[in-house]
């Protein structure tokens, strides 16, 4: 077993968990959304998602297979973006919810891309080396911006998710949304990118812990469970990107 850092370990464990949940459910779980109900072989595709998740997660933990596993996962996520998320934006380009869906995949692609770079070293090319790492971080920054914008466009829902024991719910909604946008811009502009990546990873972590863990503990409905899984997955991906600034992008 080879673990390069917290982000690597948590991301691999997350992909394994997604795969196991998909196989048990026999359908799409949490993160794998956007597939039309009338798509032929929809159930088969759900199993493919589960197998890719499980296989890539296990592969990322074993050095001889880590490079291949990260590349396969990146390619699969890129196809998912093109086939199931970009069409949503084309149908409703002014909907922040559709952009958020693309941002979700972008963050996962960013994590997978960082791992590709980490396990393939400094080989020159579009996918590998410093160029690949810059693209990965830009994808992550784009995702953060879409999340931040959604905080404002769905402000009532955002306010409602602030834990009751915290004061100034509206203020927290504005602050967290603005912080995500600022972090995304900083990472794309490469200005305090390391700090922005670290703080955004902590923000997503605290969001998962303070908002979704209590909901899950209280017994979530299907929608809440899916949102918890999304938050969990994005948090793991965020730590992979944050770790890339600590020299762990070369495994």
Q: What are the tens digits of pLDDT across the range 76-118? A: 999 999 999 999 899 999 998 899 999 999 999 999 999 999 8
Q: What is the mean pLDDT of residues 166-185?
A: 95
Mean pLDDT of the residues in the chain:
90
The pLDDT of residue 204 is above 80: yes
Q: Write the DSSP string, 19-71.
A: HHHHHHHTS--TTS----TT-TTHHHHHHHHHHHHHHHHHHHTSHHHHHHHHH
Please, what's the b/e burial string for 101-128 (b: 16 or more CB within 10 A of its CB; e: otherwise)?
Answer: bbbbbbbbbbbbbbbbbbbbeeeeeebb
The pLDDT of residue 125 is above 90: no
CB contact at 8 A, 211 and 78:
no
Distance of CA 76 to the CA centre of its chain: 14
Which residues, in sequence order, are CB contacts of 18 under 8 Å at separation 6+? Answer: 29, 30, 31, 32, 49, 50, 53, 54, 57, 229, 233
Q: What is the mean pLDDT of residues 42-58?
A: 94
Nearest CA to 113 among 85, 142, 133, 83? 133
When pLDDT is cut at 50, 70 and 90, the band that residue 188 belongs to is very high
The size of the chain, in residues, is 251
Q: What is the mean pLDDT of residues 167-173?
A: 93
- What is the rounded distance in angstroms from the CA atom of residue 36 to the CA atom of residue 57? 26
Segment among 9-13, 41-45, 71-75, 129-133 with least mean pLDDT: 129-133
DSSP annotation of 95: -
Q: What is the pLDDT of residue 151?
A: 93
Nearest CA to 97 among 54, 22, 158? 158
CB contact at 8 A, 118 and 129:
no
């Amino acid at each position: 077993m080879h673990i390069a850092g917290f982000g690597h370990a948590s991301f691999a464990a997350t992909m394994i968990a997604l795969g196991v949940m998909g196989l048990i459910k026999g359908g799409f779980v949490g993160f794998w959304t956007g597939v039309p109900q009338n798509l032929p072989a929809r159930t088969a595709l759900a199993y493919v998602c589960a197998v890719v998740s499980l296989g890539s997660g296990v592969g990322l933990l074993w050095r001889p297979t880590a490079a291949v596993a990260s590349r396969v996962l990146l390619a699969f996520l890129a196809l998912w973006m093109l086939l199931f998320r970009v069409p949503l934006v084309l149908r409703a380009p002014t909907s922040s919810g559709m952009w958020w869906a693309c941002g979700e995949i972008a963050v996962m692609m960013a994590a997978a891309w960082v791992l590709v770079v980490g396990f393939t070293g400094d080989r020159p090319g579009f996918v590998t080396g410093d160029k690949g790492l810059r693209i990965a971080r830009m994808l992550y920054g784009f995702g953060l911006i879409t999340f931040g914008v959604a905080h404002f466009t769905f402000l009532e829902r955002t306010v409602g998710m602030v834990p009751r024991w915290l004061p100034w719910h509206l203020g927290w909604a504005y602050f967290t949304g603005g912080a995500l946008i600022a972090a995304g811009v900083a990472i794309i502009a490469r200005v305090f990118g390391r700090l922005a990546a670290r703080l955004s990873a902590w923000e997503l972590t605290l969001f998962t812990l303070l908002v979704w863990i209590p909901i899950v503990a209280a017994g979530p409905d299907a929608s809440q469970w899916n949102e918890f899984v999304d938050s969990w997955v994005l948090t793991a991906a965020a730590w992979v990107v944050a770790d890339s600034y600590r020299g762990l992008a070369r495994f």
